[in-house]
């Protein structure tokens, strides 16, 4: 079993190498018994997810507690504006059948609902939404229902 200090150093290096993180130094790492706790802040939800995944890639990590907060730079986007942007981009994605997915936005938290035929479609919708400015978190409740 790897020592916690060794795991911590490797997680810090992995965060620094992660291209999606604009400021890896904004994320602190603690390790106890192979459980990694990430704290600090990220510029958007996609960065938060990238930090979590980077930590999980390190050998010896048994669990990741992601306490990274999303701090949107500049003027925050309100929920109605975010909902309008999501409503505009969903029908534009050719992978997703029109009307198959709905989104709810509350305090920057987006909940995705609906049914798609393939898991790839489910993941594609989440990817589209999590990269939008103003999204603080995403709950993907889209069901995969094969025909």
CB 102 within 8 A of CB 87: no
Q: 50 and 101 in one domain?
A: no
100-137 pLDDT, tens per residue? 899 999 988 999 999 999 999 999 899 889 888 888 88
Q: What is the pLDDT of residue 98?
A: 81
CATH code for the domain in which residue 41 is found: 3.30.1340.30
User: Is 54 in the same domain as 96?
Assistant: no
> Which range marks the domain in which residue 37 is found?
4-70
Average pLDDT score over residue span 11-22: 95
Structural domains counted in the chain: 2
Residues 46 and 64 in one domain: yes
What is the reported pTM?
0.69
CA neighbor of 137 nearest in space, from 114, 119, 111, 102: 111
Instruction: State yes or no: pLDDT of 96 exceeds 70.
Output: yes
Q: Could you give the 3-state DSSP secondary structure of residue 102? A: strand
Confidence of residue 77 (pLDDT cuts 50, 70, 90): confident
Number of neighbours of residue 45 by Cβ within 10 angstroms: 25
Together in a domain, 9 and 58: yes
């Amino acid at each position: 079993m790897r020592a916690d200090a060794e795991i911590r150093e490797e997680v810090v290096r992995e965060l620094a190498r992660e291209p999606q993180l604009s400021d890896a130094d904004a994320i602190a790492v603690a390790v106890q018994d192979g459980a990694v706790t990430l704290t600090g802040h990220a510029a958007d939800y996609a960065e938060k997810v990238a930090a979590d995944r980077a930590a999980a890639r390190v050998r010896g990590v048994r669990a990741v507690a992601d306490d990274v907060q999303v701090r949107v730079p500049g003027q925050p986007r309100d929920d109605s504006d975010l909902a309008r942007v999501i409503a505009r981009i969903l029908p534009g994605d050719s992978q997703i059948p029109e009307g198959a997915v709905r989104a709810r936005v509350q305090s920057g938290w987006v909940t995705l609902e609906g049914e798609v035929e393939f898991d790839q479609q489910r993941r594609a919708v989440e990817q589209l939404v999590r990269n939008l400015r103003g999204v603080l978190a995403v709950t993907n409740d889209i069901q995969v229902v094969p025909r």
